[in-house]
Amino acid sequence: MRNPRNERVSSDIDGNSAERTCILSGEKAVRGEFIRLAISPDGLVLPDVHARAPGRGAWIGVSREALEIAVSKNKLKGALARAYKGAAITIPDDLADRIEAALSRALTDRLGLELKSGRLLMGSDRIAQNAREGRVEWLAHAADAREDGSRKLDQAWRVGSEAEGSGLRGVTLPLDRDTLSVALGRDNVVHLALNDRGAADRVDTLLKRLLHFQGQVISREAPNGGGGHNDPIGDPNGPGMDDDDNGPAPAASVTTN
């Protein structure tokens, strides 16, 4: 990535909770909810989902559909021209595909790191046991998981969370078992669980950003007073931009089947 010519670069190391403005919708949110765009040495606009590239960054918080509309109507080009002060840039035709792939990879990479860290529960029986004992903070199922298997784990989670009769349930991931199995290097990965609240929040941040870009909404009750998850979807209208920043994606933990 590079800094556009004549662009003043600032050092922005204010962390994942700093507020950003979407250059398309004008909406504001913490940077962990938005996607950073940066420029490659040849002027190509690329996703910088971990916000690590040097230089000034432009942020978007709209869905894929809204982004594609903005590209087709040249609204993204105009917003980026303002953000980068007229620097020569090229928006790839497959920008939306690249963003979605990068968001998915960020999520699966994090799950892979948590597997290596030893904070991963494996197998439905072990997940169910930990869930009933109140040691699960987050539960998820592959997109192609069988409904009966997911329902049993959801019930075990409600029992262990003292939330019987509530709507507490695991989230359905936008990834199938084959994708999860390849990412985690295990066979037939269907269900995932986290046993640490902080880890669950960090994984949720990556998951919510991916689902939001796909135009989906997470709505799930959380145990122990935690809130559900809902993703607003922006419109490609108003301007906004932000400075560069550096910072790795935060850690998380998970389980597999």
> What global pTM score does this model have?
0.79
**How does pLDDT run across 99-112, given as a tens digit for each residue?**
999 999 999 998 88
Query: What was the pLDDT predicted at 199?
Result: 85
Query: What was the pLDDT predicted at 10?
Result: 34
How far is Cα 127 from Cα 133, in angstroms, rounded to an integer?
A: 10
252 domain-assigned: no
160 domain-assigned: yes
62 domain-assigned: no
Q: Given its phi and psi angles, is residue 188 left (phi above 0), alpha (psi -120 to 50 degrees) or beta?
A: left
| Structural domains of the chain, count | 1
Query: What was the pLDDT predicted at 17?
Result: 65
5 domain-assigned: no
CA atoms within 13 A on the CB side of 147: 0
Q: Is the pLDDT of residue 87 over 90?
A: no
Q: What is the CATH number of the domain that holds 208?
A: 3.30.1330.30
Give the mean pLDDT of the chain: 80
How far is Cα 228 from Cα 88, in angstroms, rounded to an integer?
A: 42
Which residue range forms the structural domain that includes residue 204?
99-213
**How does pLDDT run across 209-247, given as a tens digit for each residue?**
999 999 986 554 444 433 333 333 333 333 343 433 333
Mean pLDDT over 167-187 rounds to: 94
118 domain-assigned: yes
